[in-house]
Amino acid sequence: MKTRRFADPKYVGDPINAVRIFNEKEVDELFVADIDASIENREPNYDLIRSLAAECRMPLCYAGGVTTADQFDRIVSLGVEKVAIGTAAIDGERLIGEVVARVGSQSVVAVLDVRKSGLMRRYEVFTHNGSKKTGLSPADLAAKLEKSGVGEIVINSIDRDGEMQGYDLELVEQVRDSTSVPLTVLGGAGKLSDLDELIGRYPIIGAAAGSLFVFKGKYRAVLINYPTPEQKAQLGQDGETH
């Protein structure tokens, strides 16, 4: 499923079939999120994760319903390279420390779902599919997570999710200034030039996308696609940094 501002989910297809197509497209990395697991307070679907990992030919990151170190261990043992936490990352210093000791920081990813909130329209981290406020700024939380030992942070703009109008570069700037942890940006990419702008502006950054890689045209017809190696090689080449 692909959402728009964390609502109005649109069916994209069977996840295993989607993985097979992304394999053929030689995707760099795949991020799979069970978006309802935390809301429904349930464990990850290990059978599905096992099937995804077995089919996936690229590095795989899983997110959704992970709250304990034992769950981290089990998911990594199924062949998943990275495990991401969102809700559990808010007060998860002890959890993060434990899983880093078990699986290494390179396998621990924190996802920050962010939207502008309040009269001042300041950036705030939300959880549970954007339904719960945390009162935390993404920059402050990112700095805290770095100290806790996470190996990567994914910053996801709820306001831009599925809109395909470009990344929120102001949000990226705030978080990038607060941490040196590898950062991946999600939410808003609608064309390759959006990825080009992001990669050209920052020396080390991950450019992630959902709608861009599963929809085509103004009517958002489902068509899984991905840039060619030649197109990827050109991204960021006209920017000040590469």
Range of the domain at 158: 2-234
Q: Is the pTM of this model over 0.75?
A: yes
- Give the CATH number, domain containing residue 76: 3.20.20.70
Q: Based on the structure, what is the number of domains in the chain?
A: 1
The answer to whether residues 165 and 195 touch, using CB atoms and an 8 Å cutoff, is no
Which residue is it, tokens 């349930």? 42
In a domain, 241, yes or no: no
Distance of CA 74 to the CA centre of its chain: 21
How many of the other CB atoms lie within 10 Å of CB of 33? Answer: 19
Active-site option among 28, 47, 73, 113:
113
User: Which pLDDT band holds residue 91 (cuts at 50, 70, 90)?
Assistant: confident
Higher pLDDT, 218 or 29: 29
pLDDT(112) > 90 = yes
Q: What is the mean pLDDT of residues 94-104?
A: 96
In a domain, 240, yes or no: no
**For all residues of the chain together, what is the average pLDDT?**
95
User: Which pLDDT band holds residue 168 (cuts at 50, 70, 90)?
Assistant: very high
pLDDT(180) > 70 = yes
User: Which pLDDT band holds residue 239 (cuts at 50, 70, 90)?
Assistant: low
| Structure tokens given for 103 | 């699986």
User: Which pLDDT band holds residue 242 (cuts at 50, 70, 90)?
Assistant: very low
Q: What is the mean pLDDT of residues 214-232?
A: 94
| Structure tokens given for 80 | 């998943």
In a domain, 187, yes or no: yes
Closest by CA to 106, choosing from 173, 55, 59, 56, is: 59
In a domain, 239, yes or no: no
Q: Where are the alpha helices (DSSP H) in the chain?
A: 15-24, 46-55, 69-77, 93-103, 138-148, 169-178, 192-201, 211-214, 229-234
pLDDT for position 106: 97
In a domain, 229, yes or no: yes
113 carries an active-site annotation: yes
Q: What is the mean pLDDT of residues 38-60?
A: 96
pLDDT for position 203: 75
CB under 8 Å, gap of 24 or more: what pairs does 41-45 form? 43/71, 44/71, 44/75
In a domain, 75, yes or no: yes
Distance of CA 231 to the CA centre of its chain: 22
Tens of pLDDT, residue by residue over 50-70, are 999 999 999 999 999 999 999
C-alpha span between 113 and 171 (Å, rounded):
11
CB neighbour list of residue 118: distance below 8 Å, 6 or more residues apart:
124
String of b and e for 83-102 (b: at least 16 CB within 10 Å)? bbbbbbbbebeebbebbbee
